[in-house]
Amino acid sequence: MAGQNFNRVLGLRECIALVIGSIIGSGIFIKPAVMAASFPTSSGLLLTWTLAGLITLCGALTNAEAISMFPETGGQVVIFEKMYGRNFAFLYAWSSFAVFNTAGNASIAFVSAQYLAYFIPLPTCSDQIIQTTSIHIPGIGIIEPFKEIGLKLLTILLMLATSILSAISTGLSASLQNLFSALKVIAIMIVITGGLTHHSAISTVALNGSGLVTFSGFIAALTSAFWAFDGWNNISFVAGEIRSPQKNIPKALAIGIGVCVLIYFLFHWSLDRCLGLEVMMHSTSVASDAGKILWGTTGAAILASIIAFTTTGTLSANVFSTARVTYSLGHENRWFASAAKIHPNWGTPANAIFFNLTWGVILTLSGSFDILTDMLIFVTWFFYGMSALGVMLLRIRMPDIPRVYKTILYPWPAIVFVVFCFGYLLASLYYDIHDYATGKSQLIRSVFGSMIALSGLVFLVTEKWIGKNKRESV
């Protein structure tokens, strides 16, 4: 298969910036609180961030090889078709729409809404209304659409506004996206600088009594850390435009992910010094809470404003880019044909954008920020694991295909990642079911995400059945 020749214009510095910019998003501003509640040990949480970074690096070094083999395709769908066939590729495309992209957009909007709530008092519903309107899904759990309804409505409003913006324009400019990225880093560095110079008497050891350190808590904390590291695979999609890819890709991944590990490590440590585990685990906006301790209400307001502004910008960029996957899905399956249309006046995939918006609203009402990110990470890491496994399969099936980048130290990064990935998935599934069975959780999040992903089989089977009947009737 001949590949398209791209101009190799990206050097090491550009690649490092791409890795860091793709990883540092909204998760770091919310997930430390969830991690502290799940795994209340300061040293353990810092090790969790480090482990998540190392495992992410193994996955990145492995999966970059597969996509760099076919840089002209521009996406993972075709790679999965090469690895496992058309049906598996469609299931991935469906999961991208139904889980990764839409739940991801809703999660980013949740973070922005959470920090906007510092300025805007949000309404809530009574426990009676929440319980009366709850929906029970047999074998999976309970969904509460009206829980945190004010936060959810603000989340939906943000998704609606950014979807309209993306539908009528070609998205935010690259310079504006660079501004958002810079402001996010500034917000993080403000907290790190303040936290490291803050004279704290707060204990940073595991909490006694209320803070039980368990393996299930570690898995939950690791899931949160993985969400904060998501985006590491974006460099793979521009492999054909990188100078000296065999040298620059592993360097960029190692340096970029290493920088992110350091930033997350210092950010979490700074939060711990400012807030302590007890306060952190109950915080809904850790950065602004830390800012309030360091510089009072003014500091908290400034940080909340920066984070709300930049995460909304990130949301706008994601809404526009993820619509391309839904647009492509419209070409693959007749059920989504209307998504594969360009608006005659705006020149954008407006239908695909509003497809994503509609499903994103449904997901937002179905659960909280943590439910969305946990189910998203479970399904995403299944496909990450399958992609790494597929790299080893392609080495056997397609040994002669040119590879602009080959996994360094192969096969060890691939083996480590695949073994860890599926071990992590099994542990997540076990503890999700255990927590639901013991009443600690109202929803089996991994099963909920898997159910949505596997529902794509319905569209796949009916598409084939309709196509078969049409051929037989001719």
In this predicted structure, the answer to whether residue 109 has a pLDDT above a threshold of 90 is yes
pLDDT at 331: 77
**Mean pLDDT computed over 60-66:** 87
In this predicted structure, the answer to whether residue 129 has a pLDDT above a threshold of 90 is yes
In this predicted structure, the answer to whether residue 411 has a pLDDT above a threshold of 70 is yes
Burial label for 257, CB within 10 Å (0-12, 13-18, 19+), is buried
pLDDT at 9: 73
**Mean pLDDT computed over 104-123:** 93
Beta bridge pairs of residue 10: 242
Number of Cβ within 10 Å of residue 448's Cβ equals 24
pLDDT at 319: 87
- Of the listed ranges 177-181, 246-250, 261-265, 369-373, the least confidently predicted one is 177-181
pLDDT at 470: 58
pTM of structure: 0.88
**Mean pLDDT computed over 233-243:** 71
Considering its fold, how many domains does the chain have in total? Answer: 1
**Mean pLDDT computed over 53-77:** 80
pLDDT tens per residue, range 440-461:
899 999 999 999 999 999 988 8
Greater model confidence, 321 or 269:
269
pLDDT at 207: 47
- Of the listed ranges 59-63, 66-70, 401-405, the least confidently predicted one is 66-70
Question: Is 291 among the domain residues?
Answer: yes
Greater model confidence, 337 or 236:
337
d(CA 461, CA 95): 16
What are the helix (H) ranges across 12-168? 12-23, 31-38, 42-69, 76-84, 86-95, 102-116, 127-132, 149-168
pLDDT-derived band of residue 214, with 50, 70 and 90 as boundaries?
A: confident
pLDDT-derived band of residue 65, with 50, 70 and 90 as boundaries?
A: confident
d(CA 134, CA 154): 20
pLDDT at 306: 92
**Mean pLDDT computed over 357-365:** 95
Question: Is 11 among the domain residues?
Answer: no
**Mean pLDDT computed over 71-90:** 80
**Widest distance between CA atoms in the chain:** 80
Beta bridge pairs of residue 137: 141
Question: Is 177 among the domain residues?
Answer: yes
pLDDT at 185: 84
Q: Domain containing 116 — which CATH number?
A: 1.20.1740.10
Structure tokens at 98: 């139904």
pLDDT at 3: 44
Report helix angle 350-366 to 369-397, nearest 10. 120
In this predicted structure, the answer to whether residue 361 has a pLDDT above a threshold of 90 is yes
Greater model confidence, 64 or 472:
64
- Write out the residue range of the structural domain in which residue 202 sits: 24-465
pLDDT at 469: 59
pLDDT at 348: 82
pLDDT at 442: 92
Are 171 and 316 within 8 A, CB to CB? yes
In this predicted structure, the answer to whether residue 149 has a pLDDT above a threshold of 60 is yes
Question: Is 211 among the domain residues?
Answer: yes
**Mean pLDDT computed over 69-94:** 81
- Of the listed ranges 212-226, 285-299, 333-347, the least confidently predicted one is 333-347
In this predicted structure, the answer to whether residue 465 has a pLDDT above a threshold of 60 is yes
Q: Kindly state the DSSP code that residue 143 receives in the 8-state scheme.
A: E
pLDDT at 2: 41
Question: Is 473 among the domain residues?
Answer: no
pLDDT at 1: 41
Question: Is 427 among the domain residues?
Answer: yes
In this predicted structure, the answer to whether residue 401 has a pLDDT above a threshold of 60 is yes
pLDDT at 157: 97
pLDDT at 209: 38
pLDDT-derived band of residue 170, with 50, 70 and 90 as boundaries?
A: low
Are 26 and 107 within 8 A, CB to CB? yes
Greater model confidence, 88 or 199:
88
Average pLDDT, the chain: 86
Are 26 and 277 within 8 A, CB to CB? no
SS3 137: strand
In this predicted structure, the answer to whether residue 206 has a pLDDT above a threshold of 70 is no
In this predicted structure, the answer to whether residue 355 has a pLDDT above a threshold of 70 is yes
